[in-house]
């Protein structure tokens, strides 16, 4: 059975944990062999060698992975845009964003059960629920999930999770879903800045440019509505939600490090348990104090509440476990594509005005998000690509001269002897 070890980057690109790097043991090749294969492939490209056979062998798995990636992108885009739109629709008859946050977070308790169902279907050596639970509990330390670990390592992330979702949902009440989904993409820039400062990650100039673009997009988005108090509060709430998500990810990496798929599923289920045990009293307090009013029990739109929670759970499941079948960048593209989907829905359902400033702000934020998806060695790859293109252009005229009919002309042969 293959062991999956994945670095969890919670809330890096959305309001849920995202697995940004997955390594499958047994499939990685040594560095020397990788370097040799890269050298052979580059020689084949430059000299016209027989590298087509190896490319044909690799095309099958790559095409399969890309096809899975397309399905994951569509699922991420549909679930994220659908949950956002359904939350906006829910608030028309159920004006209680914190209660909706609590209700949706409770569904996190299903994460470990869903993971175990997949484990039971695919694993060659099946384990019982208790055995799998004990093995995943090693993520929290040698003593497992104790009360001390629960309150010191899980509870703070439960608070950040709740704040992230609540601020985002509360912002949807004040601004349209297009602006909210576009502004939340800025959290990836905040993650980079915090990682650079706190975790001392590698400095990359292109990511600094992306962070500047994200901040410029926030300012332009505020200017698009004329700095009205209603929209400014909504934009501030989304930025606060993005900041909480960035803090969530950086603290997770700092305190907990990395996790396997089962450990990530157990951690999310623990957050759901924390929500049920310690956050359930907050919606009740908000109801009796009049901050959030619920309609009579029979008039609560249970279909919208369950639909929103189900879409959000689907979104989280795909982001956490979709990395096993496709590339992380493709899943991030699904989040970016949800912005134009929300824009189309808002155009036909609301009175949103897409003026030039708003469109430019959305484009700038999207461009900054895409720049943050570039790998750390993107400049090296770009130089290699340009070098190969130059070599090909130089070889094409020479090949064309050799393929011409008749003997070579004397004018072409003369420079080879005369200096």
State the total domains in the chain: 1
pTM of the model: 0.77
Q: How many helices (H) and strands (E) does the chain have?
A: 18, 3
Helix (H) or strand (E) holding 4: strand 4-10
Each residue's pLDDT tens digit, 103-136: 999 999 999 999 998 888 887 788 888 888 998 9
Q: For residue 315, what are the domain limits?
A: 4-22+63-376
* Sign of the CA dihedral with 267 first, then 270, 274, and 280 last: positive
Range 282-302 average pLDDT? 87
Tokens of 157: 């992330």
What pLDDT does residue 377 have?
Answer: 64
Distance CA 47, CA 111 (A): 51
Q: Is residue 40 part of a domain?
A: no
Reduced to 3 states, what is the DSSP secondary structure of residue 333? helix
Q: Is residue 334 part of a domain?
A: yes
Q: Is residue 43 part of a domain?
A: no
Query: What's the CA angle centered on 341, arms 368 and 350, to 5 degrees?
Result: 110
What pLDDT does residue 401 have?
Answer: 54
Question: Is residue 250 within 8 Å of residue 257, measured between CB atoms?
Answer: no
Residue with the larger pLDDT of the pair 311 and 295: 311
Q: Is residue 37 part of a domain?
A: no
Mean pLDDT of the chain: 77
Q: Is residue 252 part of a domain?
A: yes
Residue with the larger pLDDT of the pair 219 and 203: 219
Distance CA 164, CA 305 (A): 18
What pLDDT does residue 379 have?
Answer: 58
Distance CA 391, CA 387 (A): 6
Question: Is residue 17 within 8 Å of residue 37, measured between CB atoms?
Answer: no
Each residue's pLDDT tens digit, 231-258: 888 899 999 999 999 999 889 888 888 7
> How far from 39 is each of 50, 53, 113, 370, 395, CA to CA, in Å?
13, 16, 45, 29, 19
Helix (H) or strand (E) holding 372: helix 356-372
């Amino acid at each position: 059975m293959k062991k999956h070890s994945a670095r969890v980057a919670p809330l890096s690109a959305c309001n849920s944990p995202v697995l940004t790097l997955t390594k499958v043991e047994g499939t990685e090749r040594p560095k020397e062999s990788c370097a040799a294969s890269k050298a052979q492939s580059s020689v084949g490209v430059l000299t016209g060698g027989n590298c087509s056979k190896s490319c044909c062998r690799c095309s099958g798995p790559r095409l399969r992975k890309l096809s899975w990636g397309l399905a994951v992108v569509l699922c991420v885009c549909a679930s994220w845009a659908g949950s956002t739109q359904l939350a906006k629709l829910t608030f028309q008859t159920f004006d209680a964003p914190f209660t909706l946050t609590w209700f949706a977070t409770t569904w996190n308790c299903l994460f470990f059960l869903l993971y175990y169902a997949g484990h039971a279907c695919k694993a060659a050596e099946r384990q019982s629920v208790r055995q799998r639970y004990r093995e995943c509990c090693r993520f929290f330390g040698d003593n497992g999930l104790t009360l001390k670990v629960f309150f010191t390592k899980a509870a703070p992330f439960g608070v950040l999770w709740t704040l992230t979702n609540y601020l985002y949902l509360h912002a949807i009440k004040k601004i349209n879903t297009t602006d909210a989904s576009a502004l939340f993409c800025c959290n990836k820039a905040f993650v980079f800045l915090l990682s650079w400062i706190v975790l001392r990650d590698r400095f990359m100039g292109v990511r600094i440019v992306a962070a500047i673009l994200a901040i410029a997009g926030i300012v332009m988005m505020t200017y698009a509505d004329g700095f009205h108090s209603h929209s400014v509060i909504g934009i501030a709430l989304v930025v606060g939600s993005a900041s909480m998500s960035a803090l969530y990810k950086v603290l997770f990496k700092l305190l907990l490090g990395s996790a396997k798929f089962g450990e990530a599923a157990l951690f999310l289920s623990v957050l759901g348990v924390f929500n049920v045990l310690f956050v359930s009293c907050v919606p009740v307090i908000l109801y009796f104090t009049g901050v959030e009013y619920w309609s009579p029990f029979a008039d609560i739109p249970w279909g919208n509440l369950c639909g929103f929670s189900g879409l959000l759970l689907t979104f989280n499941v795909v982001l956490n476990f979709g990395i096993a079948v496709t590339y992380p960048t493709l899943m991030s593209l699904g989040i970016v594509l949800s912005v134009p989907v929300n824009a189309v829905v808002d155009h036909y359902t609301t009175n949103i005005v897409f003026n030039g400033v708003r469109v430019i702000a959305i484009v700038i934020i999207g461009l900054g998000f895409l720049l943050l998806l570039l790998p750390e060695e993107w400049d090296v790859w770009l130089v290699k690509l340009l070098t190969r293109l130059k070599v090909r252009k130089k070889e094409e005229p020479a090949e064309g001269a050799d393929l011409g009919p008749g003997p070579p002309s004397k004018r072409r042969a003369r420079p080879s002897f005369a200096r």
